[in-house]
Each structure stands twice: as C-alpha cells, then as structure tokens.
Structure 1
Amino acid sequence: MRVYLNILMFGCMFIAFPQQQKIYFDSQISKHLKTYKAKSDMAIQNGDKEYAELLFDSLFNSHLKNSFIRDFSLKKVKGGKFQTTNIDKPFLLITKSSWEQIKPEEIIEINKMSRMYKGQIDIIILFWDSKDKARSISKDYSSNVILTYIDERDNNANHIIKPFKHSFGAPACFFFSEEKQLLKIEKKFTISYDNTRSEVALNKIHEKIKWMLFKDEPPRIGFISTIK
C-alpha cells in the first residue's frame, strides 16, 4: 500500500511541476529577428550605433540566451559528416565566408586554442561556400579544428542551420555550453593580434576565452571582439 501511495504522490508532483519546455535558437530567431532587424536598421540609418547595440543586447538577453541548438549534420571539408549529436563538451561555432579575408594570425590563434583546450572545448568552423573554396581557405587550420561547409547553391541548408548565417551574417561566433545552450554571440568575429605582446600575455588571453566559455559572462574587452 505504501508503494502505491508513493507512486501516486510522485505522479501528482510531476503534474504539479511539469518539466520546463526547451526553447530553441532557430525558433526564437524566427519569432524575433524581423522586429529586431527593422529597429536596428533604422538606428544605423540614423547613425545611432549605440542604440543598435542596445537592441542586439536586448534581443540576446531576452530571447536567445540559454536557448538550445537542435541537432543537425554538417559536411566536413575533408569528407564525411559531422553530427552535433556527438558533441559532449562546450563548443564554438565560427561562421566564415570565402569573400572574407581571414587573417593568418587569426588562424594561428585558433589553432593554438584548439591545442590548449583539446578535450575541453570543440572548435567548429562553418564555411558558407562550395567545398572547393572552403578547402582552399581552410588548409592552414589545425587538425584539431572541425572544418565544415555549406554550399547554399545545393539548397540543402535546412531551417535549423540557416539562422546561423541569415541572422547576424558571417563572420560570427556562437558560444555553446556542454548542454548545447547558447551562451554568447560575437558578431563580426575577429581575433586581433599585437606582435608586441609576450607569450605570457597571450596565455592570459586564452584563459579569458576559457573563462568566457565556462563562466558564461565574458568581459567586454578581450581577445575575441566585436568590430565597431
């Protein structure tokens, strides 16, 4: 009798406190991006970049932060497929395009990150271009970096993947937690490098990146930055 009562109580608790429904990034983008872009474009036309950034912060904090990424598949530059279901650690998804001039120092530092944090984070580069072009501009990346591409001319990019380009353009960097929740977006992603910096300073910068991933609140001034 006691067992049945316990089961009944557990069932009542489950009904009273239902599991929170997951909110997904692509769904949130579909709901809120149009309004954000209209207001942001107007702010930029009026020369008010500060208000445009406030609009982005509001969009992110109110609707996108901690939203989940759905599982999807990407083609690898060197052949085969990459499945997001296989990710079991925090990761960066960095979007790139062939018309962007990628600085050699940026590739060097991404490679360095991939070595330093191997086993702790995954770094995924997503090229929005043909396989041949993606292969030609990705040859200098480390084997630790996961190199993928989408050729939109094939019309195979589905609604789950498209928001990563059509929301904020490329380049951009999306930070995801181990649970595949969005922690941060860096628009117009770039890595700045100063030849006068010492190796010790560079190591501190890499620690900032690690802190950004695991502590969820990146500093405003850092190695990964948004171009004004």
Structure 2
Amino acid sequence: MKKNIGKFISLVLTISILVLVVFDQTEGNAKLIERYDINDLDNQDLAINQQKLFSPHLGKSFTGFKEALGFKESQNDYFRVNQFGYLGKYQFGKSTLKVLGIHHPQLFLNNPELQEKAFIANTQRNKWVLRKDIKRFKGKLIKGVKVTESGILAAAHLAGPGSVKKFLRSYGETGFADANGATIRYYMKKFSGYDTSLIKPVKKVKVKYESA
C-alpha cells in the first residue's frame, strides 16, 4: 500500500513539473509576441516587421536593394498584376520584357526564377545606358537628394534610363511621375546607398529561358 502511495505521489509531482514547464514556455512566447505588438510598430508596415523577425537583416547589400525594391513594387508578390498590366514582383511592363527577349508574359508571371533573371538583366542594361551619368553625378545633390548609383538604378527601374538621364542632366528640372504618383526623386532618395557594385553594365542583354 505504501509503495502505491509513493508511486502516486511521484506521478503527481512529475505531472506538476511538466505543467509548470509548459506554462513557463507559453508565458515566454506570449511575452515575445507582445514585443512585436501592432501598436508598437511606429508606423512601419506589419509585413516588413514580420520579415525582419523571421529573416536575416539584409542591410544595404544588393539582395537588400532588390528585396526592398520588390517590396515597394508589389510587396514581393511574384504573381501580382496591377491595374495597368504591370507584372510580377518587380512590376515589369510588357515592352521592357520584349527588350529583354521575353515574349511570353503569362509564362513570365508564373516563373519567379525568370523574374529574378529579368530584374538582373534589366539592371545591367540600365547601368550600361547610365554609366556616364553615374560617374558624373554620383555624390552630388539634386533637389536635396544625394545621388547614388543604387538610387539611379532604382529610378531607372521606375521610369526608364532615358527619363533618369533627363532628370540628372537638368538637375531635377525635368521630372517624371508614374500613374501612382511615384517620382524619380522619390526613388533616388528611398533606394539611396545600397551596394550595387555586383551589377556589371551590359550593353545588350537577353534573358535565356524555356518557352515551353
């Protein structure tokens, strides 16, 4: 009888300890979640904060550049088509895709790998077109914004390299705004100071892909 009572007491103690451990872990997780309460976001987008919580900090790296630009364009949604027909994570227009040798918009939309290749290729092409302007204007202030290579390349993604040339050479007097009101100046400021040295200027670049 004493043996059975001893076993019962031992079992009760074991269960009590397990309950306390689980409660302590749950309470700890609750405190961790409270640290990222939506009321403490300081006007930043919730999705960005979730990404920072679960992803490595990309900083001003090239990966940080393209992910920040992709988030601005589509919230990094590879399958988004906006009201003007721009496609994918980086919101490419069909005319730009044709320049890059991509003639199947639906295939492009359904292929994240192809979209990443297209972004690299288009950035290489833009860097070639703007290579002299990057050298000439880098470090200068235009309309209160310090000109950087990454800012120029981001603006070229928005407006095309020709529009960026006009903006730079007119010292901001010749502007551009897309259908949503985004401007070259805004993109140059928002995407300033990223390391885009990995991108090499290429005069004529075509993206290779399987069409079927």
TM-score range, shorter chain: under 0.3
TM-score normalised by L of structure 1: 0.22
Whose strand proportion is higher, 1 or 2? Answer: 1
TM-score normalised by L of structure 2: 0.23
Decide which structure has the larger Cα Rg and report it.
Answer: 2
Whose helix proportion is higher, 1 or 2? Answer: 2
